[in-house]
Chain A
Amino acid sequence: MSTALIQLAGLTKAYPGVIANDSISLDIQPSEVHALLGENGAGKSTLVKMIYGLVKPDSGHMQMNGHAFEPSEPRAARSAGVAMVFQHFSLFDALTVAENIALGMENPPAMRDLAARIREVSETYGLPLNPAAKIGDLSAGERQRVEIIRCLLQDPKLLIMDEPTSVLTPQEVDILFETLRKLKASGTAILYISHKLEEIRALCDTATILRGGKVVATCDPSQTSARDMAELMVGGTLATPTAKPMETGPVALRINALSHPAPSAFGMPLRDISLDVHKGEVLGIGGVAGNGQDELLAALSGEMATKPGAISLNGTDISAKPPRIRRALGLLAAPEERLGHAAAPDMSLVENAMLTGSVRENMETNGFLNWSAAKRFADHIISEFDVRTPSASNAARSLSGGNLQKFVVGREVLQNPDVLVVNQPTWGVDAAAAADIRQALLDLAANGAAVIVISQDLDELMEISHRFAALSEGRLSKPRDAAGLTIEDIGLMLGGAHGMEVAHV
């Protein structure tokens, strides 16, 4: 194993109350695409942060090319040849591609030279990108290319990618994989973090599976089934939510030629969206974030007023109705951003239960609030949705992402809506909690509610939707029956995203 590019031996890192990494050892060879698999909280982030110099291990050691490798800060890791593309981009919308890249460099060259190098790298690796374009005008896939090129300019030996495909359309994923294969061919090793098993099977040479901070298995993903890997990740058998056969009811929510200008400089306008959602069905809306999802949710929740006649609920025009009236009439929503939008971070779960529950759960009389009713409702959500928290009086921000998401979805589901709209219901939630949330949405539809699920996770949408539509550039495709749709069909429905062609070699 002396040929390994990087060797980790017995890396351990403990935080108060939890051992994030427990004696982890793994080797990454040059030209290897190495997958790091695990649920949220399995220790993937801590491990890569140690390699990238953000976190210091308590014990264990790392070697690079046979020499000790102990980066004290990211700069040291970068100069040793480690580069990382984070899941969340750190780019300034108002600056150009070249300016953003220069900001991340230790000694940026003159802007003209930098632009030339960006062009050169983007052509070599098949990442079409214009250095003079403003970030705010780019799609998520193009933004990711900016981050990747920023890394490639350092000529890295090891490239770490954290959930790179979570924001990409299927076609953009193809472009990315093409690039990664070229990098591999040129000798760069890639540490690829993901929970999308089919991708890992298609791309990676080796997979290390983490659970509870320990390495539980190392396998060759092309020889292992996705189901086996998932069960290794979860440490048990997975209960797959099942969509019951649907009996189409009457139209519950009708959107009729809804158009709305972009609410902010880098928002997305909604363009002529029409849609009928029936009682008893789950309608999936797929698409890459930033294509109008937030705006569509805001138009439905009532945060963004729309022109008369655009939205009607059970035959009543509600386009001009504020959020509280819409709730009273039975239209509930759960936005994507848990902290700060769906919930107030510093407020208790009781107060957050009051936030949207007050109208339908009889928590107020003449404007006066009944806190004991809110407490009961919060406790009800906590027990019904298995929210892990010491008590309902804990602040929302003290909960883990998955638990808070269960609380937020549970809060809306338990109010028995006629129509529920959820945006990214399982984003960043571990597999078991995600399955619970999906099952709850299916049960809600089975009991006669209309459910709209907006998600970037196509596997999720295929699993629970009866019908599927794609949102791209603020336009919604015609919904189609989900049964029988292939990933390729969906890719075509998502069509509008720019820069789709795989660059020619």
Chain B
Amino acid sequence: MIRLVKRPQPSQAWSYGAPVLAVAATIFFGGLLFAALGKNPIDAILTIFWEPIFGEFSFFYRPQLLIKGAPLVLIAIGLSLGFKAGIWNIGAEGQYIIGALAGAGVALALYPLESVLIFPAMILAGALGGWAWAMIPAVLKTKFGTNEILVSLMLVYVAEHILASMALGAMKNPEGFGFPGSRNLQQYASAHNADIIENSGMHWGVVFALIAVIFAYVLLSRHRLGFAIRVTGEAPRAAAFSGVNPKGLILFCLGTSGALAGLAGLFEVAGPAGQVTIDFNVGYGFTAIIVAFLGRLNPIGILFAGALMALTYIGGDIAQSNLGLPAAAIQVFQGMLLFFLLAIDLFTNYRLQIGAGETA
């Protein structure tokens, strides 16, 4: 008989070893999958993990890593605060869209005025937009006890419709010959979220993502608020006993994650995407949920998880075009990574007991 037995103490070794083992297991079983599809597994793995960083065209792919990784990290950091406290914001995608619309709206309203104040104003508007969208589930939860998972998720679809309406209506480019989509902010100097160093991919979103990582790390390890978040997640009654105000915490966690998602949306629409279009959002808000858990809700872990996730996306694209691997195989590969991480992570808190056990 094999059974899982809870460890009296979480194991440090497993906690640090789990991500490494998970990547190793994913490479092994992913390789088997690629081999079964008739591809050389070593080639496929190298294409996914090696090519984007060290390959022939890495000068093109490396900036892509930052561009794809930054929004994931920025959103996931915000989500992780709530997740740690048991507050489930599933609607980051909606907050991302509304943040982008609010920020782009500022720019489009002021066009063609040029001023150094425009970009900071857009950042502020982006954060506020995301925050306000997240406040809807937060206030409903604190006032009426609604379920924030459902409300935040439903609001994603509302946001998508607002986005479509904006792209086709209020924000449509008047000089766009009738095509849907706004003016291209990349061509509006005051509003463009340009690379800080030319062609590095290092735009302001990357800077904010790094700041968010440091901020979250200090908050969780050194500040009362971060401690309140952790205690609430571990033992809500103990948190209330110690003096945590649960409603305040809901407002803070949902508000912060909304603001960070809004920022990510603004940086995307003012930079890599450039335009408010019907489908400029590509699901970062949902993928960030995976990144948050892959990083085990730890800020440093999320930084690595975001980078790894971005790598498999870019590497997966290369493998699709160069090796002809089906997109579904790449998605299975990404799924494996999450599966193995969560499965192996179980051993941080549990150990296997083989043989006759007791129910005592």
Q: Across the interface, do A395 and B360 meet the contact criterion of CB distance under 8 Å?
A: no
Provided the pairs A322-B243, A335-B241, A367-B225 are in contact, do residues A395 and B358 lie with their beta carbons within 8 angstroms? no
Provided the pairs A302-B243, A322-B245, A323-B243 are in contact, do residues A347 and B360 lie with their beta carbons within 8 angstroms? no
* Contact string against A for B residues 231-248, beta-carbon threshold 8 Å, 1 for contact and 0 otherwise: 100110111111101000
Q: In the docked arrangement, what's the CA distance between A278 and B104, Å?
A: 65
Q: Across the interface, do A46 and B360 meet the contact criterion of CB distance under 8 Å?
A: yes
Q: Across the interface, do B241 and A358 meet the contact criterion of CB distance under 8 Å?
A: no
Q: In the docked arrangement, what's the CA distance between A337 and B231, Å?
A: 16
* Contact string against B for A residues 328-347, beta-carbon threshold 8 Å, 1 for contact and 0 otherwise: 00000101010111111111
B49 at the interface (CB under 8 A from A): no
Q: Across the interface, do B241 and A356 meet the contact criterion of CB distance under 8 Å?
A: yes
B222 at the interface (CB under 8 A from A): yes
B187 at the interface (CB under 8 A from A): no
B227 at the interface (CB under 8 A from A): yes
Q: In the docked arrangement, what's the CA distance between A61 and B242, Å?
A: 50
Q: Across the interface, do A369 and B245 meet the contact criterion of CB distance under 8 Å?
A: no
A-side contacts of B240, CB under 8 Å: 303, 323
- Least distance between A79 CB and chain B CB atoms (Å): 19
Centre residue among B9, B227, B242 by max chain A CB count within 10 A: B242
A55 at the interface (CB under 8 A from B): yes
Provided the pairs A15-B358, A55-B359, A397-B8 are in contact, do residues A323 and B241 lie with their beta carbons within 8 angstroms? yes
* Contact string against B for A residues 388-405, beta-carbon threshold 8 Å, 1 for contact and 0 otherwise: 000000110110000000
- Least distance between B357 CB and chain A CB atoms (Å): 10
Give the contacts of A354-372 with B (CB-CB under 8 A): 354-356, 358-359, 364, 367-369, 371
B-side contacts of A214, CB under 8 Å: none
Q: In the docked arrangement, what's the CA distance between A369 and B230, Å?
A: 14
B-side contacts of A358, CB under 8 Å: 224
State which of B8, B227, B358 has its C-beta within 8 Å of the C-beta of A369: B227
A324 at the interface (CB under 8 A from B): yes
Q: In the docked arrangement, what's the CA distance between A441 and B21, Å?
A: 51
B-side contacts of A301, CB under 8 Å: 241
B223 at the interface (CB under 8 A from A): yes
In chain A, what residue has the closest Cβ to B242? A355
* Contact string against B for A residues 16-59, beta-carbon threshold 8 Å, 1 for contact and 0 otherwise: 00001000000000000000000000000010010000111000
Q: Across the interface, do B360 and A55 meet the contact criterion of CB distance under 8 Å?
A: yes
State which of A343, A359, A369 has its C-beta within 8 Å of the C-beta of B223: A369
Q: Across the interface, do B238 and A340 meet the contact criterion of CB distance under 8 Å?
A: yes
Q: In the docked arrangement, what's the CA distance between A355 and B235, Å?
A: 11
- Least distance between A472 CB and chain B CB atoms (Å): 25
In chain A, what residue has the closest Cβ to B359? A54
B-side contacts of A54, CB under 8 Å: 359-360
Provided the pairs A322-B245, A324-B243 are in contact, do residues A364 and B224 lie with their beta carbons within 8 angstroms? yes
Q: In the docked arrangement, what's the CA distance between A335 and B242, Å?
A: 11
Q: In the docked arrangement, what's the CA distance between A49 and B359, Å?
A: 10
Q: Across the interface, do A344 and B243 meet the contact criterion of CB distance under 8 Å?
A: no
Q: Across the interface, do B9 and A395 meet the contact criterion of CB distance under 8 Å?
A: yes
A327 at the interface (CB under 8 A from B): yes
Number of A residues, CB within 8 Å of B: 41
Q: Across the interface, do B234 and A346 meet the contact criterion of CB distance under 8 Å?
A: yes
Q: Across the interface, do B358 and A55 meet the contact criterion of CB distance under 8 Å?
A: yes
B283 at the interface (CB under 8 A from A): no
B10 at the interface (CB under 8 A from A): yes
Q: In the docked arrangement, what's the CA distance between A344 and B85, Å?
A: 13
Q: Across the interface, do B245 and A337 meet the contact criterion of CB distance under 8 Å?
A: no
A-side contacts of B238, CB under 8 Å: 340-344, 355
A-side contacts of B356, CB under 8 Å: 56
A-side contacts of B358, CB under 8 Å: 15, 55-56
Q: In the docked arrangement, what's the CA distance between A268 and B239, Å?
A: 22
Give the A-B contact count at a CB cut-off of 8 A. 85
Q: Across the interface, do B9 and A398 meet the contact criterion of CB distance under 8 Å?
A: yes
Q: In the docked arrangement, what's the CA distance between A46 and B359, Å?
A: 11
Give the contacts of A45-88 with B (CB-CB under 8 A): 46, 49, 54-56
- Least distance between B99 CB and chain A CB atoms (Å): 27
In chain A, what residue has the closest Cβ to B6? A397
Q: Across the interface, do B231 and A344 meet the contact criterion of CB distance under 8 Å?
A: yes
B-side contacts of A322, CB under 8 Å: 243, 245
- Least distance between B252 CB and chain A CB atoms (Å): 13
- Least distance between B31 CB and chain A CB atoms (Å): 36
* Contact string against A for B residues 1-32, beta-carbon threshold 8 Å, 1 for contact and 0 otherwise: 00000001110000000000000000000000
Q: Across the interface, do A341 and B237 meet the contact criterion of CB distance under 8 Å?
A: yes
- Least distance between B85 CB and chain A CB atoms (Å): 13
In chain B, what residue has the closest Cβ to A45? B360
Provided the pairs A55-B358, A55-B359, A346-B10 are in contact, do residues A369 and B234 lie with their beta carbons within 8 angstroms? no
Q: In the docked arrangement, what's the CA distance between A323 and B223, Å?
A: 18
- Least distance between A349 CB and chain B CB atoms (Å): 12
Provided the pairs A15-B358, A54-B360, A55-B358 are in contact, do residues A341 and B225 lie with their beta carbons within 8 angstroms? no
Q: In the docked arrangement, what's the CA distance between A49 and B360, Å?
A: 8
Q: Across the interface, do A344 and B235 meet the contact criterion of CB distance under 8 Å?
A: yes
Q: In the docked arrangement, what's the CA distance between A351 and B241, Å?
A: 14
- Least distance between B233 CB and chain A CB atoms (Å): 9
In chain B, what residue has the closest Cβ to A348? B9
B-side contacts of A303, CB under 8 Å: 240-241
State which of A339, A347, A398 has its C-beta within 8 Å of the C-beta of B231: A347
- Least distance between B142 CB and chain A CB atoms (Å): 15
Provided the pairs A355-B238, A395-B9, A397-B8 are in contact, do residues A327 and B222 lie with their beta carbons within 8 angstroms? no
In chain A, what residue has the closest Cβ to B226? A369
Q: In the docked arrangement, what's the CA distance between A322 and B239, Å?
A: 13
Provided the pairs A54-B359, A322-B243, A323-B242 are in contact, do residues A340 and B237 lie with their beta carbons within 8 angstroms? yes
Q: Across the interface, do A15 and B9 meet the contact criterion of CB distance under 8 Å?
A: no
- Least distance between A16 CB and chain B CB atoms (Å): 10
- Least distance between A337 CB and chain B CB atoms (Å): 7
A-side contacts of B245, CB under 8 Å: 322
Q: Across the interface, do B222 and A341 meet the contact criterion of CB distance under 8 Å?
A: no
In chain B, what residue has the closest Cβ to A49? B360
B-side contacts of A340, CB under 8 Å: 235, 237-238
Q: Across the interface, do A355 and B231 meet the contact criterion of CB distance under 8 Å?
A: yes
Q: In the docked arrangement, what's the CA distance between A359 and B359, Å?
A: 42
In chain B, what residue has the closest Cβ to A363? B224
A-side contacts of B225, CB under 8 Å: 367
B-side contacts of A324, CB under 8 Å: 243
B-side contacts of A367, CB under 8 Å: 223-225
Q: Across the interface, do B359 and A395 meet the contact criterion of CB distance under 8 Å?
A: no
Q: Across the interface, do A395 and B241 meet the contact criterion of CB distance under 8 Å?
A: no
Q: Across the interface, do A344 and B234 meet the contact criterion of CB distance under 8 Å?
A: yes
Closest 3 CB pairs of A and B: A323-B243, A324-B243, A398-B8
* 15 residue pairs bridging A and B, Cβ less than 8 Å apart: A55-B359, A56-B358, A301-B241, A303-B241, A322-B243, A322-B245, A344-B234, A346-B10, A347-B234, A351-B230, A351-B231, A356-B241, A356-B242, A367-B223, A394-B8
* Given contact pairs A55-B360, A323-B243, a sample of 5 additional A-B residue pairs in the complex whose CB atoms are under 8 Å apart: A341-B241, A347-B234, A355-B238, A359-B243, A397-B8
